[in-house]
Structure 1
Amino acid sequence: MTAPVSTPSSSTSWEEVGVRLEVEGELAVVTLCDPKRRNAQTPAMWRALAAIGRELPGTVRVVLLRAEGLAFSAGLDRAMFSPEGIAGEQGFAELAASSDQDLDAAIAEFQQAFTWWRRPDLITIAAVQGYAIGAGFQLALACDLRVCALDAQFSMRETSLGLVPDLAGTKPLVDLVGYGRALEICATGRLVGAEEAVASGLANLAVPGEELDATARDLVAPLLAAPRSAVIETKALLLGAGQRSYDEQRAAERAAQARRLRDLAGIGD
Structure 2
Amino acid sequence: MKYQRIKVSREQDIVTVRLDRADKLNGVDMTMFDELIYISKLLRRDRRLRAVILTGSGGHFSSGLDFKSMMKNKSFAARLLFKWLPGQSNRAQQVSTNWRKLPVPVIAVIEGYCWGAGMQIALGADFRICSTDANLSIMESRMGLTSDMGGSVALREIMPKDQALRISILATELDADEAQSLGLVTQVSHTPMDEALALCQQIIQKSPDVTAAMKHMYTRYWTAPAWKLLAYETYSQIRIMLGRNFPRVQKALRNKTLPEFQPRQRRW
TM-score calculated relative to the size of structure 2 = 0.81
CA separation in 1, counterparts of 2:103 and 2:82? 28
Count of aligned pairs between the two proteins = 240
Matched, 1:72 2:39: no
Q: 1:49 to 1:180 in 2, by over 3 A?
A: same
Give the equivalent residue in structure 2 for 1:55: 42
Runs of 4+ deviating beyond 4 Å: none
Q: Give the structure 1 partner of residue 74 of structure 2.
A: 90
CA positional deviation for 1:67? 1.1
Structure 1 residue 119 and structure 2 residue 101: aligned? yes
- 1:104 is matched with 82
User: Which region of structure 1 is more displaced relative to structure 2, 227-236 or 110-119?
Assistant: 110-119
Which stretch of the first structure deviates more once superposed, 69-78 or 181-190?
A: 69-78
Matched, 1:186 2:140: no
Which residue identity is paired with 2:8? Answer: L
Paired with 1:159 and 1:119, the residues of 2 have a C-alpha distance of 27
Specify whether residues 138 and 103 from structure 1 end up closer, same or farther in structure 2 by C-alpha distance, changes over 3 A only. closer
In structure 2, which of residues 162, 175, 184 is the aligned counterpart of residue 202 of structure 1?
184
The letter for the 2-side match of 1:227 is: S
Deviation at 1:126, TM superposition (A): 0.2
Q: What is the CA–CA distance in structure 2 between the aligned matches of 1:249 and 1:119, rounded to whole Å?
A: 17
Distance 1:182 1:214, change over 3 A: same
Distance in 1 (alpha carbons) for counterparts of 2:106 and 2:96? 12
In structure 1, runs of 5+ residues without a counterpart are 1-8
Q: Which residue type is aligned with residue 240 of structure 2? A: R
Distance 2:61 2:130 in 1: 10
| Deviation of 1:236 (Å) | 1.8
Distance (whole Å) between structure 2 residues aligned to residue 245 and residue 29 of structure 1: 35
Rounded Cα–Cα distance in structure 2 between residues aligned with 1:259 and 1:91: 45
Distance 1:199 1:236 in 2: 26
Question: How well do the aligned residues superpose, as a CA RMSD in angstroms?
Answer: 2.4
Q: 1:80 Cα shift?
A: 4.4
Cα distance change of structure 1 residues 245 and 105 upon mapping to structure 2, 3 Å threshold:
closer
CA contact (8 A) 2:114 2:137 kept: yes
**Correspondence 1:243 to 2:223:** yes
TM normalised by structure 1 equals: 0.81
* Conservation of the 8 A alpha-carbon contact between 1:128 and 1:149: yes
What code does the residue aligned with 2:22 have? Answer: P
| Structure 1 residues 119 and 228: alpha-carbon distance in aligned structure 2, compared to 1, 3 A threshold | same
Q: 1:191–1:91: structure 2 CA closer, same or farther, 3 Å change rule?
A: farther
Q: Is the 8 A contact 1:127 1:148 kept in 2?
A: yes
5+ unaligned residues in a row in structure 2: which ranges? 249-268
Query: Is 1:224 paired with 2:211?
Result: no
Aligned to 1:4: none
Any conservation in 2 of the 1:43–1:110 contact (CA below 8 Å)? no
Q: Which residue matches 1:174? A: 156
